């Protein structure tokens, strides 16, 4: 039997927005013990990837770790991988940002460790064919993809144990296959069984066979408390390394660069737009995901890989509208940054904030909280707003209202960009979908709806029927209650939430846009015509919406009209948020009544104030007519490696009025959201 080569290592990263204390815990339980084990076994060669953000954190908090890492690099035991500095999904960001992020990490590695990385790590192994030319142009020679990629590309048999060549625009790149079976064995099976499996993959003729074991460094410790006890306290890796050393000549650990110096890639191949197996299931909507899993269970192991691939990462952008809006913000900010001319320092500063906001974590949900983690989304928006602020040249930038196809749906949205706030209006529902406080770089409409997930109990987990934005137009029966609204079992009489509003007028000079929708209301079992006009007016620190409701039917109707406003804060505790009902006495003196943070109903409100204690910003919602208020927190139920969790996403405020409409009657009110001192 010929020997087999083993490429072994870990990839390690932390997203923007994670607290230092959490990274410290991962460091102590995963990063530090792994490198210590490796250092104590100089006969084991490895390949390691650390994201740029994590390397910078380590440089600041644990320089001794980097000294140890530098030692194993210098003695040629470890080869470091490059990649995107802030771990972007490379296919989703513009090519200039891909190259820039890769070069930023390359520069850091070269400065800190004295050598340029030859290979790169692809975030979540999310592959699209155009990456081959981008990565090669960035100075990389090789990358790693799962054997799932190889199966769907038509590879089989011994070709699954050799790197291949792929190509784009005449640029070639070497791709190594990661062995999924081996990855799943560690640390669930014994070191002996793992080594026996590696030995079983040798053959009689080929000494170029290579098997790759690379997994998340966090998995060996923090993610699985039991595995932490097995891997480090229980000596799993210690024993594994001893066994590998004992099998030297049959199993040789090798760095990928050294392997390529002796062995050429076997074949040329082209890979589909895919990722690892679990990811391609998570991209699917809940119903399709369940059908997909049923179909997989009917197929043999041999047939699953080549013929059943699941979805495609970009489907997360349609699965979660909030993901699409964050992605759209990335693209729009990229355009703003690249319009900077003649000031290299300012452009560099804006570009690095843009790149910070391009991380993958808040765009999707799978084994991690991802998009459900309010902190990660807030951190991404903060970075993107910071980048936008840098693009604004002092003395030249002026507030403006522009018609832009922001979310790339083929229809213009209306973006107000001011000195103190941004406000973006969407024609679907005529809603406000982004509200940025410029000074604090905070998007108060970075909300998340309650989506159906496969692990939910359908009977007890509410699911929202629409995106949680501001000025969402509801029509209820007068006896509808807050509990049925919270559970989303209430009857929505109108269709204006999903209606595409038409633009009646758009006046850039006045910062105004007027929208109109002719919809229908289900009243006493029949659909009746109805019209809503919404007149948006943007000012320095306020957005007002003048509503005109018009009963265009020949039928009198008694209805409750509500305009839902969602505002997203850091959290829903007394240390983070206060809600006040603002009252004025006969002398005009202002008084404040705390209405609490839990589900509540308040009558006779004219103005509500939300005091954001974390950012020291107050947001008011005021009306020209007194209203009944429903106030309730929006909590999502999600699952991650840390278990089940309910996460605060936003505070839902529903001003509403009971109205008796005669045929052809109109009713008007003005609602205003304002930042107040």
pLDDT tens column, 188-220 = 899 999 999 999 999 888 889 999 999 999 988
Rounded Cα–Cα distance for residues 25 and 31 (Å): 9
CA–CA separation, 677 vs 673, rounded Å?
13
pLDDT higher than threshold 60 for residue 334 = yes
Burial (CB < 10 A; 0-12, 13-18, 19+), residue 254, is: buried
Say whether pLDDT at 290 is over 60. Answer: yes
Mean pLDDT value across the chain:
95
pLDDT at 642: 80
pLDDT at 225: 53
Q: Is the pLDDT of residue 421 over 60?
A: yes
Mean pLDDT of 626-648: 94
pLDDT at residue 232 tops 90: no
**CA-to-CA distance for 530 and 510, rounded, in angstroms?**
28
- The pLDDT of 31-41, averaged and rounded, is 96
Q: What is the structure's pLDDT at 434?
A: 98
Quick: pLDDT tens for 81-103.
999 999 999 999 999 999 999 99
Q: How many whole angstroms separate alpha carbon 132 and alpha carbon 172?
A: 7
Given a cut of 60, whether residue 299 has pLDDT beyond it is yes
In 299-409, beta strands by DSSP E: 400-404
Q: Give the mean pLDDT of 291-299.
A: 86
- At CA 136, angle to CA 53 and CA 275, rounded to 5? 65
Question: Quick one: average pLDDT of 529-542?
Answer: 98
Residue 594 to residue 608: CA distance in whole angstroms: 10
Assess whether pLDDT exceeds 80 at residue 306. Answer: no
Q: Quote the radius of gyration of the chain (alpha carbons, Å).
A: 28
Residue 222 in this model has a pLDDT that exceeds 90 = no
According to DSSP, residue 274 is labeled: B
Write phi, then psi, for 424 (nearest 5 degrees).
-115, 135
Taking only the tens place, the pLDDT of each residue in 577-608 is 999 998 876 666 778 899 999 999 999 999 99
Can you state the percent helix, strand and coil of the chain, rounding each to 5?
Answer: 35, 30, 35
Task: Report the pLDDT value the prediction gives residue 272, as an integer from 0 to 100.
Answer: 93
Question: Coil, helix or strand for 361?
Answer: helix
551: helix, coil or strand? coil
- To 5 degrees, how large is the angle CA 256–CA 258–CA 259? 60
Work out whether strand 590-594 and strand 512-523 pair parallel, antiparallel, or are unpaired. Answer: unpaired
* Residue 342 phi, psi dihedral angles, 5° rounding: 80, 0
CA 467, 482, 639, 282: dihedral to nearest 10 degrees? -30
CA distance 160 to 150: 7
Strands (E), 477-569: 502-507, 512-523, 526-538, 542-550, 557-567
Residue 226: pLDDT band (50, 70, 90) is low
User: Could you tell me if 336 and 387 are in contact, meaning their C-beta atoms sit under 8 angstroms apart?
Assistant: yes
Pairing of strands 4-12, 210-216: parallel
In eight-state DSSP terms, residue 200 is: H
In the predicted model, is pLDDT for residue 566 greater than 60?
yes
Question: Of 47, 122, 114, nearest to 84 (Cα)?
Answer: 122
- How many other CB atoms are found less than 10 A from the CB of residue 394? 5
Confidence band, pLDDT 50/70/90 cuts, at residue 221: confident
pLDDT band at residue 231 under the 50/70/90 scheme:
confident
* Residues contacting residue 568 through CB under 8 Å, at least 6 positions apart: 374, 378, 443, 444, 445, 446, 447, 649, 650, 651
- Read out DSSP for 555-610? S-EEEEEEEEEEE--S-SSTTTEEEEEEEE-TT--EEEEE--SSSEEEEEEEEEEE
Distances in whole angstroms, Cα of residue 506 to Cα of each of 177, 190, 478, 516: 55, 68, 35, 12
Q: 3-state class of 144 per DSSP?
A: strand
Identify which of 301-315, 428-442, 582-596 has the greatest average pLDDT: 428-442
**Cα→Cα distances 211→124, 146, 177, 261, 430, Å:** 19, 11, 8, 17, 55
Q: Above 60 in pLDDT, residue 337?
A: yes
CA distances, 586 to each of 237, 278, 594, 624 (Å): 76, 64, 20, 17
| Pairwise CA distance, residues 425 & 423, whole Å | 7
Per-residue pLDDT for 224 more than 70? no
Query: What confidence tier does 674 reach under pLDDT thresholds 50, 70, 90?
Result: very high
Q: Is the omega angle on the peptide bond into residue 612 within 30 degrees of 0, that is, cis?
A: no
For the stretch 503-516, pLDDT in tens is: 999 999 999 999 99
| pLDDT given at position 643 | 85
């Amino acid at each position: 039997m010929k020997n087999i080569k083993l490429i072994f290592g870990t990839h390690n990263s932390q997203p923007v927005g994670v607290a230092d204390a959490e990274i410290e815990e991962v460091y102590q339980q995963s990063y530090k013990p792994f490198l210590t084990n490796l250092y104590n076994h100089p006969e084991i060669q490895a390949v390691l990837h650390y994201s740029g953000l994590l390397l910078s954190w380590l440089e600041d908090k644990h320089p001794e770790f980097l000294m140890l890492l530098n030692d194993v690099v210098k003695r040629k035991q470890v080869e470091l991988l490059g990649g995107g500095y802030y771990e972007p999904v490379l296919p989703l960001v513009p090519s200039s940002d891909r190259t820039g992020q890769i070069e930023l990490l390359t520069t850091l590695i070269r400065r800190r460790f004295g050598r340029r990385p030859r290979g790169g790590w692809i975030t979540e192994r999310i592959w699209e064919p155009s990456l081959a030319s981008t990565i090669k142009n960035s100075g990389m020679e090789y990358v790693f993809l799962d054997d799932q990629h190889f199966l769907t590309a038509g590879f089989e048999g011994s070709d699954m144990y050799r790197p291949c060549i792929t190509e784009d625009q005449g640029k070639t790149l070497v791709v190594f296959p990661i062995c999924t079976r081996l990855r799943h064995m560690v640390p669930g099976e014994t070191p002996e069984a793992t080594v026996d499996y590696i030995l079983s993959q040798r053959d009689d003729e080929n000494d170029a066979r290579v098997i790759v074991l690379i997994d998340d460094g966090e998995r060996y410790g923090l993610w699985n408390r039991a595995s932490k006890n097995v891997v480090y306290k229980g000596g799993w890796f210690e024993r594994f390394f001893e066994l590998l050393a004992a099998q030297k000549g049959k199993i040789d650990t090798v760095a990928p660069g050294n392997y390529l110096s002796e062995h050429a890639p076997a074949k040329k191949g082209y890979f589909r737009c895919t990722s690892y197996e679990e990811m391609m299931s998570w991209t699917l909507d809940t119903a399709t995901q369940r059908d997909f899993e049923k179909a997989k269970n009917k197929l043999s192991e041999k047939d699953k890989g080549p013929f059943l691939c699941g979805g495609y990462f970009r489907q997360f952008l349609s699965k979660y509208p909030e993901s699409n809006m964050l992605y759209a913000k990335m693209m729009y900010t990229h355009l703003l940054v690249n319009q900077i001319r003649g000031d290299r320092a300012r452009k560099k500063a804006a570009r690095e904030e843009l790149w910070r906001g391009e991380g993958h974590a808040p765009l999707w949900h799978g084994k991690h909280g991802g998009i459900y983690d309010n902190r990660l989304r807030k951190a991404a928006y903060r970075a993107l707003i910071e980048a936008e602020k840098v693009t604004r040249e002092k003395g030249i930038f002026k507030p403006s209202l522009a018609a832009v196809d922001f979310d790339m749906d083929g229809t213009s949205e209306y973006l107000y960009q001011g000195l103190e706030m941004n406000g973006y209006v969407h024609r679907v529902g005529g809603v406000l979908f982004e509200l940025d406080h410029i000074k604090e770089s905070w998007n108060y409409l970075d909300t998340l709806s309650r989506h159906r997930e496969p692990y939910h109990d359908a009977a007890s987990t509410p699911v929202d029927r629409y995106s949680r934005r501001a000025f969402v137009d509801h029509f209820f029966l007068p006896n509808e209650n807050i509990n049925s609204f919270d559970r989303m079992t209430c009857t929505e009489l109108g269709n204006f939430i999903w209606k595409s509003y038409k633009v009646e007028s758009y006046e850039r000079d006045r910062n105004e846009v007027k929208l109109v929708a002719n919809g229908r209301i289900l009243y006493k079992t029949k659909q009746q015509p109805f019209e809503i006009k919404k007149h948006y007016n943007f000012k320095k620190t306020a957005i007002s919406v003048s509503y005109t409701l018009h009963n265009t039917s020949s039928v009198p109707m008694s209805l409750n009209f509500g305009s839902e406003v969602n505002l997203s804060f850091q959290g829903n505790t007394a240390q983070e948020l206060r809600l006040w009902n603002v009252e004025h006495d006969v002398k005009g003196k202002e008084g404040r009544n705390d209405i609490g943070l839990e589900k509540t109903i308040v009558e006779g409100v004219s103005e509500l104030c939300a005091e954001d204690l974390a950012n020291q910003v107050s947001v008011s919602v005021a009306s020209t007519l007194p209203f009944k208020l429903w106030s309730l927190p929006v909590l999502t139920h999600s699952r991650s490696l840390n278990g089940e969790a309910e996460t605060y996403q936003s505070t839902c405020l529903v001003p509403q009025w009971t109205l008796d409409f005669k045929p052809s009657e109109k009713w008007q009110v003005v609602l205003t959201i304002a930042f107040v001192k």
